[in-house]
Structure 1
Amino acid sequence: MPPETSFIYLLICLLAGISIIVLLTTKFKVPAAFALIIGCFLVGLGAHLSLTDVVNIMKEGFGNIIKSLGLIILLGTTLGILLEYTGSTSVMANYILKKLGEKRTVWGISITGFIVGLPIFCDSGYIVLSGLNKTLAKRAGISIVIMSVSLATGLYSVHCMVPPHPGSAAAAGIIGADIGKLILIGSLVAIPAMMVGNIWARYAGKNLPLPVVEEETPTDVRLHQPSVIQSFLPIVVPIVLIALKSFVTIEATPDKAWMTAILSFGDPVIALIIGILLTFFCKKSWKRAELGHLLQDSAEKAGGILVIIGAGGAFGAILAAIKIGTHLSESLALDSMGLFFPFLLTFVLKTAQGSSTVAIITAASIVLPLLQVLGLDTETGKLLCVLAMGAGSMMISHANDAYFWVIAKFSGLDMKTMLRVYSVATVLMGLTSFAMVYILSKFL
């Protein structure tokens, strides 16, 4: 990219790219994957990247997303379809509604997302819980929009703020913040963010049309439903395994056999395979033809999701290549900005390239040499700095964010609804989290 390209010009390119994606998908009903590809060329060529560079960057971005999420999405989709087919989601829904009561179902799904999201990626957590979420929505008579965004924001609140998630953990390492304190205080800061996401989902989703949630459980399965324990194990076991791996990775080196086993079985791919195997105990007998049909459906459903997510990764890679964060740090007077600068920088990076993890890691690398100028070169200042970046990495989740499309496709929500409810929720969550961090800075 030529050095004379101005920051304002790059912002115009970014806004043009985002606008064309939204316009094509909402007004002209162009499939999201093609709209994202068009956005890649518009932004890349507009920012003076060569055609060859644009294509190569798109390939790299597409491949990186598929490499990190491909098997997880395929296996998670398979797990969800098998749980629905065996009637396990119905059993779990009945159990949760009985324990919580219908009036507390929405809060229950948010809290579930928050707890599940502590040790695992929001993408993986949403995939594992999406079938249960749909069944709960149908049984409680609550809009799938409200339920999906409540679950998504519960998972997202801790994903952006709390180690062992890679973004906040890496940022703590780069900046030099205390990880133990970050886990404790980050979890506390994430609670108001989760609550705001829940409240906004209720408010924004209450007047929207109610999407139809089909119950796919066959009649013969309803007559022979699995037990509560059999139904929950395919979800609980992968979550526990992934959680154990996360905490073993933080606390110790794998110098013992049991640590090595936990690290192996706690890999999301292996954990999901174990979950799939456990679903076979949820039905008394399986026919080869029906199993083949279910696995084929899983592969086809996952394929459509992966194409969109891959295109989103390509768009994010193009936006990352034009280095908006670097231009921003060079364009503003920093001495009086304090916590606002790492928050704003991460917010711009997140909005531009889609990944909260990439945004906070990139921002940490930029902020590190600026800590003294920002007045954050103390133990407390570094902790608050990482939290401010975590808040910035929440917003804005939109068309270039893989998690955005995971939610949309697994919930059956169109892009207009996602932007109106979920994307706005991420803005409110980010602002709420930053307000909490700012308040904490006055007391710590």
Structure 2
Amino acid sequence: MANSLSYILTLLVAGIALIVLLTTRYKLPAFFALFLACLLVGLGIGLPLGSVISVIKDGFGNILKSLGLIIVLGTTLGLLLEYTGSTTVMAAFLLKKLGNKYAPLAMSITGFIVGLPIFCDSGYIVLSGLNRSMAKRTGISIITMSVSLATGLYAVHCLVPPHPGSSAAAVTIGVDFGKLILTGMVVAIPAMIVGNLWAKYAGGKNIDPITEDPIAVNETGKAPSLLKACLPVFVPIILIGTRSFLTTGTTPYPGWIMFLLSLGDPVIALLIGVLLAFNCKQGWQKTELSKILQEATEKAGGILVIIGMGGAFGAILTATKIGEHFSQSLTLGSMGIFFPFLLTSVLKTAQGSSTVAIITAASIVLPLLPVLGLNTETGKLLCVLAMGGGSMMISHANDAYFWVIAKFSGLEMKTMLKVYSTATILMGLTTLTMVYILSKIL
């Protein structure tokens, strides 16, 4: 189809603007906003309606084929860790080792570790009671403690699978999960530290009263041991990471290594994590087990439809052949990792969801990888990490996580904007800096 680059770009901007408008002003669920954007762009480039629907189905199905089981098992693992009290056990251990003086750092590290398998919003809700009690006991500002915890969770949520944004971007761009997990964790550490330092600096000047409203906690009996609490988190990470390293070579491996490789498949590794999480509580009742598994599948379903439609939007964008048009232009050639970072930042700031931002950005960036100079294994890895950094900034009033923090910490919006929103900007820029450094040494 003889569509000009300017016309395709106009359609692209219109599609993104439609997503932003529908999800922010009209509060339409992201699934429907993405679906309407697919129709707008697909029909706009001249595809028949039947062909547009066919492309949407293919894109939707392909992304779910790759991510469906991972998201469901990752969500189940997170809920089990919450329900059994494993997250609280890990947090209490860190606080005991680091002491009250370093309570903000302990909360950052806790958020970082707990956030590996758990979504940032649910992780914050689970740990908010501990966070508030520590703030009260130590006399440290609640905003300092809250932002320390929030940024620790946020750092891995935006950068490390099995979180949906980075997972979907890895599938779209074509990045190995194991390498992304390991490198993402390395990049997330400086982001976490910057978030913690800013929380201590800015939060100390904002002493907010702590309300006495109790935080509801599941009564699940005796808490698991530290070992039992940690195994469901670290065993899947170790298995997936080991698989990544072992598959870098071409030498035939003996049977036991091949078995280890199969355990390192993200689906199998997460399944093992789920099984280990069951061991964190004794005497499971049929009703409670059924309830938590049902909750996990329902929560995962809401995430999957957004991811699937994000994949469909990517398939529509691919059909515009925008990459072929840009390959004739040198305007993006010098931008490299900065373009995916800036694009994701704009999408995140505009519509609030880190997941939607990185999924949409990945679809746009995919055909542009050659002209950006990122069409290599390392380049694709750096691209996904740059988009993860972009998906951090800027979290503000249109971000659900923003309100989770405010609600469960009793913080005013003005304080949240001043301390937490600024922290997300600093974290995003720190991540971009780290990715740039990696681009020079890898």
Same fold (TM over 0.5): yes
Shift of 1:347: 5.3
CA distance in 2, matches of 1:61, 1:422: 35
Q: Does 1:139 align with 2:127?
A: no
CA distance in 2, matches of 1:216, 1:150: 21
DSSP-derived class of the 2:284 partner: coil
1:271-317 per-position Cα deviation (integer Å, ceiling 9, x unaligned): 11111212222222122222222222221221122112212222222
Matched AA of 1:51: L
Q: Which residue of 1 aligns with 2:155?
A: 153
Matched ranges for 1:231-310 at <5 A = 231-251=229-249, 253-310=251-308
Matched AA of 1:6: L
Q: Does 1:227 align with 2:218?
A: no
Shift of 1:37: 0.9
Aligned in 2, Cα 1:10/1:146: closer, same or farther, shift over 3 Å? Answer: farther
Shift of 1:363: 4.5
Matched AA of 2:50: T
Q: Which residue of 1 aligns with 2:96?
A: 98
For structure 2, the 5+ residue unaligned runs are 133-141, 162-168, 348-356, 393-398, 407-415
CA distance in 1, matches of 2:200, 2:310: 28
Shift of 1:129: 7.8
Percent of aligned pairs sharing the same letter: 42
Matched AA of 1:104: L
CA distance in 2, matches of 1:305, 1:186: 21
Matched ranges for 1:17-416 at <5 A = 17-101=15-99, 102-105=103-106, 107-109=108-110, 112=113, 125-127=116-118, 132-141=123-132, 147-154=149-156, 156=158, 215-218=216-219, 221-222=220-221, 224-251=222-249, 253-332=251-330, 340-343=334-337, 346=340, 354=359, 362-366=367-371, 389=383, 392-394=386-388, 396-397=390-391
Aligned in 2, Cα 1:288/1:271: closer, same or farther, shift over 3 Å? Answer: same
Shift of 1:56: 1.6
Aligned in 2, Cα 1:193/1:52: closer, same or farther, shift over 3 Å? Answer: farther
CA contact (8 A) 1:88 1:282 kept: yes
CA distance in 1, matches of 2:315, 2:215: 36
For structure 1, the 5+ residue unaligned runs are 117-124, 160-164, 173-179, 372-381, 399-406
Aligned in 2, Cα 1:349/1:432: closer, same or farther, shift over 3 Å? Answer: same
1:342-397 per-position Cα deviation (integer Å, ceiling 9, x unaligned): 335655887798377777775554466x99xxxxxxxxxx9997787566544644
Aligned in 2, Cα 1:366/1:47: closer, same or farther, shift over 3 Å? Answer: same
225-234 or 352-361: which moved more? 352-361
Matched AA of 1:432: T
CA contact (8 A) 2:108 2:153 kept: no
Matched AA of 2:5: S
Q: Which residue of 1 aligns with 2:429?
A: 428
CA distance in 1, matches of 2:94, 2:29: 36
CA distance in 2, matches of 1:24, 1:183: 33
CA contact (8 A) 1:64 1:313 kept: yes
Q: Which residue of 2 aligns with 1:175?
A: none
CA distance in 2, matches of 1:24, 1:78: 30
Q: Which residue of 1 aligns with 2:4?
A: 5
Shift of 1:152: 3.5
CA contact (8 A) 1:40 1:314 kept: yes
CA contact (8 A) 1:61 1:316 kept: yes
CA distance in 2, matches of 1:52, 1:289: 45
Aligned in 2, Cα 1:424/1:32: closer, same or farther, shift over 3 Å? Answer: farther
Shift of 1:260: 0.8
DSSP-derived class of the 1:330 partner: coil
CA contact (8 A) 2:341 2:432 kept: no
Aligned in 2, Cα 1:390/1:305: closer, same or farther, shift over 3 Å? Answer: closer
CA distance in 2, matches of 1:203, 1:32: 36
Aligned in 2, Cα 1:155/1:18: closer, same or farther, shift over 3 Å? Answer: same
DSSP-derived class of the 1:282 partner: coil
CA contact (8 A) 1:10 1:324 kept: yes
Shift of 1:111: 5.6
Matched AA of 1:250: T
Shift of 1:104: 0.8
DSSP-derived class of the 1:80 partner: helix
DSSP-derived class of the 2:28 partner: coil
CA contact (8 A) 1:196 1:429 kept: yes
Note the aligned Cα RMSD (angstroms): 4.9
Aligned in 2, Cα 1:11/1:149: closer, same or farther, shift over 3 Å? Answer: farther
Shift of 1:247: 1.2
1:78-117 per-position Cα deviation (integer Å, ceiling 9, x unaligned): 222222222222212212232345221454257648xx9x
CA contact (8 A) 1:149 1:421 kept: no
